[in-house]
Amino acid sequence: MTTVKAREKHITVNGVKLRYFDWGTEGKTPLVCLHGHTGQAHIWDEFAEAMAPHYHVLTVDQRGHGESQWADTGYARDRFVEDLAAFVDGLGLSKFVLAGLSMGGWHSLLYTADHPERVERIIIVDIAPEPNPATAAERGSRPPTPMDFASLDAAVEWMREGNPWAGDARLRQDATDKLRQKDDGRWTWKADHSLFNVPLPDMTDPGLIGRYWRAVETIPCPILEVRGAESSLVADATLERMKRDGKQFSWVDVPGAGHVVTVDKPQEFIEVTRSFLGV
The maximal CA–CA distance of the chain, rounded, in angstroms, is 54
How far is it, in rounded angstroms, from Cα 213 to Cα 130?
A: 8
Judge whether 190 and 67 are in contact, CB under 8 Å.
yes
From the list 128, 103, 122, 123, the residue with the least C-alpha distance to 239 is 128
Per-residue pLDDT of the chain (279 residues; tens, 9 = 90+): 446 679 999 999 999 999 999 998 889 999 999 999 999 999 999 999 999 999 999 999 999 999 999 999 999 999 999 999 999 999 999 999 999 999 999 999 999 999 999 999 999 999 999 999 887 666 666 789 999 999 999 999 999 999 999 999 999 999 999 999 999 999 999 999 999 999 999 989 999 999 999 999 999 999 999 999 999 999 999 999 999 999 999 999 999 999 999 999 999 999 999 999 999
How far is it, in rounded angstroms, from Cα 71 to Cα 14?
A: 10
Q: How many CB atoms lie within 10 A of CB 27?
A: 6
Q: What is the pLDDT of residue 137?
A: 64
Predicted structure pTM score: 0.96
Q: What is the pLDDT of residue 142?
A: 77
Catalogue all structural domains in the chain, each as residue range(s) with its CATH number. Answer: 7-133+201-277 (3.40.50.1820)
Judge whether 207 and 105 are in contact, CB under 8 Å.
no
CA atoms within 13 A on the CB side of 5: 2
From the list 62, 129, 113, 120, the residue with the least C-alpha distance to 93 is 120
Q: What is the pLDDT of residue 24?
A: 85
Contacts of 38 by beta carbon, 8 Å cutoff, 6+ apart: 65, 178, 189, 191, 195, 196
According to DSSP, the residues that pair with 9 across neighbouring strands are: 20
Which amino acid, 188? T
How far is it, in rounded angstroms, from Cα 107 to Cα 96?
A: 15
Burial of 135: CB neighbours in 10 Å, binned 0-12, 13-18, 19+: middle
Q: What is the pLDDT of residue 169?
A: 98
Judge whether 89 and 191 are in contact, CB under 8 Å.
no
Judge whether 171 and 159 are in contact, CB under 8 Å.
yes
DSSP H stretches of helix in the chain = 45-51, 77-90, 103-114, 136-140, 152-162, 168-178, 206-218, 236-245, 261-264, 266-277
